Chain A
Amino acid sequence: MKVLLFLNYGASLFLIFFGIFAMTSARHLLRKVIGMVIMQTGVILFFISLAFKHGASLPVLPYSAKTAPAAAEAFANPLPHALMLTAIVVGVSLLGAALALCLMIYKVHHSLEEPVITQNLEKEP
């Protein structure tokens, strides 16, 4: 079970570095955007892995146990999930902004290839 947990962290690190690599090395702007999203997904996976506890149950009190004191150890940590819900929303709006910018760029330069755009920009208008 422990090995599986390390697998989680390893996967999140891989996603983060792979995303950064894609962002920096890709020439097409949409590929860069995809790299950005992969990087964010890696961080989300990292946070979600933090919440995991071996043998813990859902962080929901059963109706019958209204008054019983809840032992925190018996439940998975719900806070990282709440945080990541917010981070996902932030990521979606960033993705929207990035795609809108790509659209604007494409309308002017008729291409999303980085070398073409920089070449266009270097030419005097």
Chain B
Amino acid sequence: MMRDQWPALIFLVPFLGTFLLPFLARFKWPSACTAAAFFLWISVLLSAAVLGETALSGPLSYAFSGWPPPMGIEWRADSLSALMALLMTLSAALSLSVSGASSEQEIGSRAAPFFMSVLLAVSGLLGMVLTNDFFNAFVFLEISSIATYALIASGPIRSAPYASFRYLLIGTLGATLYLLGVGYWYAATGTLNMSDFVTRSLSAQDNPILMAGFLLIFLGLAIKMGLTPFHSWMPDAYAHASRTAACVIAPIAAKAPIYLLIRISFWAASPEWLEHWHFWNLLKILGFLGIVTGSLLAFRQENFRRLLAYSSVSQIGLIVLALGIHERNALFGAILHLVFHAFMKTGLFLFAASVESRFGARTVQELSGLVPRMRISFAVMTTSVFSLIGIPPLAGFFSKWYMLSGALLAGDFWAAAAVVGSGLLSALYLFKLLEQIFFRKNPEDPKTKEAPSMLLAGAILTAAVNLAGGFLVPLFHAWAHNGFLKEIFG
């Protein structure tokens, strides 16, 4: 039956596309960028089909080479992983489809290897999301990481390779710690399958090896997702990457490790056991630190993309804090924020790409002179920024609302204060940004020179998602209520 193979096909289309791309690149048409976007859009359709299928008739499971699950490698698409697969493919496909012309100007003759790396990075992320096997997840973590290192190194030759090298060192440390933790878990339970691990670990709950393994895995994932105090690689990587690469990887690369953390801490490990070791409190503290550090450092940034990266650090802190509350609504809010934040950041990085390709503007100072020339782009950018702050009709408000209600329902007033505080802190640095951009005298003669039309269209689409997202939340909540929330909280 074809249905069972869909989860694997979501991954296989961009993965095989990676190796078809150099042959396609020999022809004038389609360009490497168009071809890569084409493969990703097929993947988007497949993910949407899988998402619909999981909503109608439960999780899909695919056993590679026909080896039945606990022994062989199993891929599993349930409501959450199908949603994440759709998010990854959609966000990457959107950025690739609109950045064709701008990337040609920037990347030129290196197009084929560049877009191969893009496809490889996205298929690695898809593998991490869809697999139900700890070791398999490590392999895909490294596949996506290696492709990401290449993408970051594709920026300006003076600074990008060094930024990429530093990310490589710290990223390898994270992946190796994750692998060591998986080794501990394998030693304690004898299984690598996540579902099988749940049943086997129940009988060995007070085994300290399990906790040591869990801590190593958590540490590895925290490094890969850029959680404070391990965030230092992120601003350099996103500020020095080529602008096309930043549009593709910045919104989704950190999301896959967060997904793995959710999968491991909510499904694989038992909640009582984590409660006993104060893991949820640890998440709350690290999340809070992330919010504060990210916001304060974002406040001081001059470089626009670096500011966006620090803002990501603080939003990741917020998501981790919401996970630490360990409550139904808070988890839903975290997932919602994961989705909407990807679209906000796609819009903002597309905006950064368009001002860089038109005017070479990289700093906030340079942006302020451009307002009369690119009115539409700046209006769209402001929509995304307002959503990031969490101003009511926009999507960002609803995710923070659910986190807040979760914290209050759990009776955790410190966490509630931290969620509100994160909104205030992001308002602080983002309003400073808007003030610097809009409330400055512009000496130049205003001659309209809008952003490249495709980039503008992409930014408008993401802004539309942010506008419409809020109205879809009830539907989304009903779906999550019958899907992953029911699985975890009953």
Contacts and interface: CB of A to CB of B under 8 A. Distances in A.
A, B in one complex: yes
Interface of A: 16, 20, 23, 29, 32, 36, 39-40, 43, 46-47, 50, 80, 83, 86-87, 90, 93-94, 97-98, 101-102, 104-105, 107-109, 117, 121, 125
Name the residue in B142, B150, B161, B187 with the highest tally of chain A Cβ atoms < 10 Å from its Cβ.
B161
Given A83-B135, A90-B139, A101 B164 contact: yes
Interface string B94-133: 0000000000000000000000000000000000000000
Given A40-B176, A93-B146, A105 B183 contact: no
Contacts of A109: 162
B165 interface: yes
Contacts of B162: 101, 105, 109, 117, 121
B176 A98 contact: no
Interface string B171-184: 01100100110010
B186 interface: yes
A121 B161 CA distance: 12
Interface residues of B, number: 25
Interface of B is mostly: helix
Given A101-B168, A125-B158, 8 more contacts: A23-B169, A36-B172, A39-B172, A40-B172, A50-B186, A83-B135, A93-B146, A97-B149
B157 interface: yes
B139 A86 contact: yes
Interface in B173-214: 173, 176, 179-180, 183, 186-187
B10 to A, nearest CB: 22
B146 A105 contact: no
A98 B183 contact: no
Contact of A102 (B139, B142, B165, B172): B165
Nearest to B165: A101
Interface of A is mostly: helix
Contacts of A86: 135, 139
A43 B176 contact: yes
6 smallest beta-carbon distances between A and B, as pairs: A104-B161, A101-B165, A90-B142, A105-B161, A101-B161, A43-B180
Contacts of B149: 97, 101
B346 to A, nearest CB: 26
Contacts of A80: 186
17 contacts: A16-B176, A16-B180, A23-B169, A40-B172, A43-B180, A43-B183, A87-B138, A90-B138, A93-B142, A94-B146, A97-B146, A101-B153, A101-B161, A101-B162, A101-B165, A108-B158, A121-B162
A118 B179 CA distance: 31
B159 interface: yes
A113 to B, nearest CB: 12
Contact of A108 (B146, B157, B164, B165): B157
Nearest to A33: B169
Contacts of B158: 108, 121, 125
A87 B179 contact: yes
A20 B169 CA distance: 10
A97 B176 contact: no
B481 to A, nearest CB: 38
Nearest to A39: B176
A30 B294 CA distance: 31
Contact of A121 (B159, B173, B176): B159
B168 A46 contact: no
B72 to A, nearest CB: 11
Contact of A29 (B142, B146, B165): B165
Contacts of A117: 162
Contacts of A98: 165, 168-169
Contacts of A94: 142, 146, 168, 172
A84 B142 CA distance: 14
B161 A97 contact: no
A45 B161 CA distance: 31
Name the residue in B142, B158, B165, B186 with the highest tally of chain A Cβ atoms < 10 Å from its Cβ.
B165
A90 B186 CA distance: 20
